[in-house]
Structure 1
Amino acid sequence: MATYKLYYFNGRGRGEAARLVFAAAGQKYEDIRFEGEQWPSHKSEMPLGQLPVLEFNGVKLPQSISIARFLAKQFNLAGKDNFEQAQVDAVVDTIVDLVNKFIAVRFEKDEAKKQELGKTFFAEEAPKQLKNLETLAKLYGKSGPFFVGNQLTWADLLFYDVGESLLGVEANALDNFTFLKQNRAEVAKLPKIAEYLKNRPATPF
């Protein structure tokens, strides 16, 4: 029987997409969470000296998106065929574009500069990328609440998590994006996801 261990910090961050896939699939795994002071003594155990890492049957796999994509394929959450999988990947790549712009805001140390970057991000970059996501949903979602093929995929789970981070900084970030708000609501209502969200540890990130 396959065994899964997920190594990450005690937070949502880049490990949460994999956890959401596990939750949606009802798959058991070891959720190994390092506190900050524990990490230096484990860093050398990881292939690239970074987290998250998935250990599958004793072999470690780095890179958050690769981990989530692998798990989605394992549990039939990646799209029904090769072209649907490519559509899911296009949505995911667009979410990653959004995240990469957002990271500059989240990790800016200078508070005044952070405020300025945040204003610009939520006024200009976020609406552009969120509109791109709605455009893809119209193309691929078959008028349903999910991004691709009118069924749950890991793209929906990834956006649920990224949306939580956006809304944590700017509560009105999705107000002009009806599909994206509905998409997150539908994901949150899924029984296995609702159960996971209710019971997961409360963490600051």
Structure 2
Amino acid sequence: MGNNASFKLYYFGFRFRGEVIRLVFTAAGKEFEDVRIDPSQWPQLKNQAPFGTLPYLEVTSGSQKLVLTQSTSIARYLAKKFKLAGRNDEEAAIVDMYADQVSDVLAEFAKTARESDANKKKEIEQKIENEIMPKNLKLFEARIAESRSGYLVPSGLTWADLYLFNLLEMLGEKRVMVLEAFPNLKGLDQKIRNNPRMAAYLAKRPITPF
């Protein structure tokens, strides 16, 4: 697709899996149409989605149209296009590896949304808080320390950092307190928040629970 391509992202109004795509556009300084679908509208629109799921992205360039789904596939495509995927194949592999790990953790959060039994829901939440997040935050902390750039790879900001930032936001009000034990993760979080493009986006972004 040409450099004059236009982008239209379809997702629900909350952050979760679609937010990394919004963050990639923002970090790259690229315009896109952010179509936020109300859950009540979804049954009528579901047949329009390639796999019957959200998010999906329409890329239009002249008479050409590309439609992509799966959040990490979309984010990776855009990151490669906008030079946010690592400087070489080895960095790109590390970026993908840590992004996949973020996806695994987000899948645990998704379990809480699907669970209707209050006791089971609480069990899952406690496991995330006491086991899953501490273990993974240590992994991410060590990787940032090893890269010595303040990000997951030496060359600087990539889509995996933005994906990790989105995961950290899942901590909600506990985020600031939790990150005190992880100085490198805290630094990453602050670098992204203090980036002028990101700061402007975060200031106007709708407030959602997740």
Instruction: Note whether the superposition's TM-score is higher than 0.5.
Output: yes
Q: Does 1:108 align with 2:108?
A: no
Question: % of aligned pairs identical?
Answer: 41
1:121 is matched with which residue: 99, 123, 128? 128
Alpha carbons of 1:74 and 1:56: their partners in 2 closer, same or farther (altered >3 Å)?
same
Corresponding residue for 2:95?
A: 88
- Work out whether residues 167 and 173 of structure 1, in 8 Å CA contact, stay in contact via their aligned partners in 2: no
Corresponding residue for 2:55?
A: 52
Q: Does 1:26 align with 2:29?
A: yes
- Work out whether residues 7 and 53 of structure 1, in 8 Å CA contact, stay in contact via their aligned partners in 2: yes
Cα drift, residue 60 of structure 1: 1.1
Corresponding residue for 2:104?
A: 97
The alignment partner of 1:17 has SS state of: helix
**Superposition TM-score, scaled by structure 2 size:** 0.90
Corresponding residue for 1:130?
A: 137
Paired residue total: 203
Alpha carbons of 1:170 and 1:146: their partners in 2 closer, same or farther (altered >3 Å)?
closer
Corresponding residue for 1:147?
A: 152
Moved more, 167-176 or 150-159: 167-176
Corresponding residue for 2:192?
A: 187
Q: Does 1:177 align with 2:198?
A: no
**Superposition TM-score, scaled by structure 1 size:** 0.92
Corresponding residue for 1:2?
A: 5
CA distance in 1, matches of 2:99, 2:129: 20
Gaps of 5+ in 2: none
- Work out whether residues 26 and 198 of structure 2, in 8 Å CA contact, stay in contact via their aligned partners in 1: yes
Alpha carbons of 1:50 and 1:195: their partners in 2 closer, same or farther (altered >3 Å)?
same
Corresponding residue for 2:83?
A: 76
